[in-house]
Amino acid sequence: MKISVQSAPFDFAAETASFGQGRDDVGAVVTFTGVVRDDSGDLEALELEHYPGMTEAAIGKITEQAMARWQLADALVIHRHGRLAVGEPIMMVATAARHRVAAFEAAEFLMDYLKSRAPFWKKEHMRSGTAWVAAKEADEDALNRW
Amino acid sequence: MKISVQSAPFDFAAETASFGQGRDDVGAVVTFTGVVRDDSGDLEALELEHYPGMTEAAIGKITEQAMARWQLADALVIHRHGRLAVGEPIMMVATAARHRVAAFEAAEFLMDYLKSRAPFWKKEHMRSGTAWVAAKEADEDALNRW
Amino acid sequence: MVEVLYFAWVRERIGLAREQVETEAKTVADLVAELSAREPRYEAAFADTSALRVALDQELSEFSDPLAGVREVAFFPPMTGG
Amino acid sequence: MVEVLYFAWVRERIGLAREQVETEAKTVADLVAELSAREPRYEAAFADTSALRVALDQELSEFSDPLAGVREVAFFPPMTGG
């Protein structure tokens, strides 16, 4: 299990190269990568604020829960903070399990958690000004299904 | 969109390096990798037979359906055939979409399809003998939810 | 004349990967009956068609489907890919 | 004495990232009332607590929770990570 909250870019290839490898009980590896998207055509960058200390602890705790619930062989969460340009990866999650359903469900659960319970806040820097991103009810609903 | 049915190993890092990149409408990339697992402790290798011609066409068609249904920015399916040792990657799927739910759902749909509709057959080479893997009702049920 | 293909344990049981078959069969089921009547190894392979799948010209099909115009028929067990 | 932290637009509205607060407040809600009474910028930040979240010693908590033994209180809007 690896949790990292960092401002530096992460290397997806390096992170996934050894993830879930060298074990004969891993049949399924799922990864999710979140990327800065520009829906308005007006976005210059995203700024991610977080709560140092709480962020790592909270993600670590929920990832341990996911490991136990879906009997994961391994799990990885990397989340960036700071200023990110359109097209840059914001975060990634990886899960390794015996079966595909467990690997998919655990990755989705971690994503739903990160969207609505991990202490991150996004601010959009647009050519026309700046604005904090509002929380979506859909993200809260997504978490409640677990 | 890329579909490949091949006996050679694939390079996950190389395949994902450029996947879904350089577009400002991609917010979510999901990958799934299937790995040869040894549940019995007796497995030497897996042998995958397929139906050349039909395999590529069938996967291409279903991937086009997934692209349209979940409005994917891109999709990738690589599936190996031939003899594969425990721990070797069998196949991978990748999906790129605006939102995470679409990327996850499309990847799961493609997996459910590949498990029960793509013309592949697995044979287990065990120390104690060989046996064709039986289809699982659960895989058929999984496909029917879509 | 149709090209008939066999995969996985169907191929192993019949002992052939493909063959050309001269037939007047109207449906897949008719063709199965013709083949089963040939030899015990065919009869064994086709004993339980509920355990088999068929593709006509590389499209998954039903045993009740007509063979008119079909060039390639493939028989195989349920798929186990991924 | 508790350490009070503010994040995102709560931080911007109050104009502070953190401060030490001398308080006898029994609950988070009491602390919010004390802070709101200080200055308009606090009042503005805490105007609608249904739009806010609170963490006590880095655990998500409720506004009705007691402050006894708590060293760190953080106020912030609903999270928008991932």
What is the number of domains present in chain C?
A: 1
pTM of the model: 0.94
Residue D82 belongs to some domain of the structure: no
A115 within 8 A of A106, measured Cβ to Cβ = no
- Report in angstroms the alpha-carbon separations of A4 from A96, B12, B16, B82, C38: 17, 22, 21, 38, 66
CB-CB neighbors (< 8 A) of B116 in chain C: 78-79, 81
Looking at the DSSP assignment, which residues form a beta bridge with residue B107? none
CB-CB neighbors (< 8 A) of A50 in chain D: 81
Report the pLDDT value the prediction gives residue B137, as an integer from 0 to 100. Answer: 82
The range of the structural domain enclosing residue D53 comes to 2-76
A115 within 8 A of D60, measured Cβ to Cβ = no
Residue D68 belongs to some domain of the structure: yes
Closest alpha carbon within chain D to A92: D82
Residue B141, pLDDT > 90, answer no
Helix (H) / strand (E) containing B33: strand B28-35
The range of the structural domain enclosing residue B140 comes to 2-144
Report the pLDDT value the prediction gives residue A140, as an integer from 0 to 100. Answer: 81
CA distance B109 to chain C (A): 12
Sign of CA dihedral A10, A11, A12, A14: negative
CB-CB neighbors (< 8 A) of B118 in chain C: 79, 81-82
- Subunits next to A (3 or more Cβ pairs <8 Å) are B, D
Residue D35, pLDDT > 90, answer yes
CB-CB neighbors (< 8 A) of A98 in chain B: 37, 39
Q: Do chains B and A touch (3 or more CB pairs under 8 A)?
A: yes
Whether residues A119 and D81 touch (CB distance < 8 A) is answered with yes
Whether residues B79 and C5 touch (CB distance < 8 A) is answered with no
Question: Cβ–Cβ contacts within 10 Å for residue B75, how many?
Answer: 25
Average predicted confidence (pLDDT) for chain B: 94
Report the pLDDT value the prediction gives residue C50, as an integer from 0 to 100. Answer: 92
Residue C81 belongs to some domain of the structure: no
Report the pLDDT value the prediction gives residue B143, as an integer from 0 to 100. Answer: 86
CB-CB neighbors (< 8 A) of B140 in chain C: 78
Please tell me if residue A58 touches chain D, with a CB cutoff of 8 Å.
yes
Report the pLDDT value the prediction gives residue B138, as an integer from 0 to 100. Answer: 83
pLDDT greater at residue B116 or residue D63: D63
Question: Cβ–Cβ contacts within 10 Å for residue D62, how many?
Answer: 11
CA distance B24 to chain C (A): 31
Report the pLDDT value the prediction gives residue B23, as an integer from 0 to 100. Answer: 85
Of how many residues is chain A composed? 146
The alpha carbon torsion through A76, A81, A85, A91 (nearest 10 deg) reads: 10
User: What ipTM does this complex have?
Assistant: 0.92
What is the number of domains present in chain A?
A: 1
Percent of chain C at pLDDT > 90 equals 96
Residue C47 belongs to some domain of the structure: yes
Q: Using an 8 Å CB-CB cutoff, list residues of chain D that contact chain A.
A: 5, 7-9, 11, 55, 58, 60, 74, 76-82
Percent of chain B at pLDDT > 70 equals 100
What residues contact residue C29 under an 8 Å CB cut-off, 6+ apart?
C49, C63, C64
Summarised one tens digit per residue, pLDDT across range C2-18 is: 999 999 999 999 999 99
A78 within 8 A of A105, measured Cβ to Cβ = no
Which of D5, D9, D81 shows the shortest C-beta gap to A120? D81
A45 within 8 A of A125, measured Cβ to Cβ = yes
Local structure of residue A4 (DSSP, 8 states) = E
Summarised one tens digit per residue, pLDDT across range B5-17 is: 999 999 999 999 9
- Subunits next to D (3 or more Cβ pairs <8 Å) are A
- CATH number, domain containing residue B14: 3.90.1170.40
pLDDT greater at residue B26 or residue B139: B26
In this prediction, the residues of chain A whose per-residue pLDDT falls under 70 are none
Whether residues C8 and B79 touch (CB distance < 8 A) is answered with no
- CATH number, domain containing residue D54: 3.10.20.30
Helix (H) / strand (E) containing C46: none
Please tell me if residue B25 touches chain A, with a CB cutoff of 8 Å.
yes
pLDDT greater at residue A62 or residue C82: A62
B31 within 8 A of B92, measured Cβ to Cβ = yes
CB-CB neighbors (< 8 A) of B32 in chain A: 28-30, 100, 103-104
Whether residues D82 and A135 touch (CB distance < 8 A) is answered with no
Whether residues A115 and D8 touch (CB distance < 8 A) is answered with no
Q: Please state the rounded mean pLDDT for residues C22-49.
A: 96
Please tell me chain B's helix, strand, coil percentages from 3-state DSSP, rounded to the nearest 5: 30, 35, 30
Report the pLDDT value the prediction gives residue A9, as an integer from 0 to 100. Answer: 97
d(CA B87, CA C49): 35
CB-CB neighbors (< 8 A) of A114 in chain B: none
Summarised one tens digit per residue, pLDDT across range B16-67 is: 999 998 888 999 999 999 999 988 889 999 999 999 999 999 999 999 999 9
> What is the pLDDT confidence band of residue B142, given thresholds at 50, 70 and 90?
confident
What residues contact residue B13 under an 8 Å CB cut-off, 6+ apart?
A13, A16, A17
pLDDT greater at residue A80 or residue D82: A80
d(CA C40, CA A28): 41
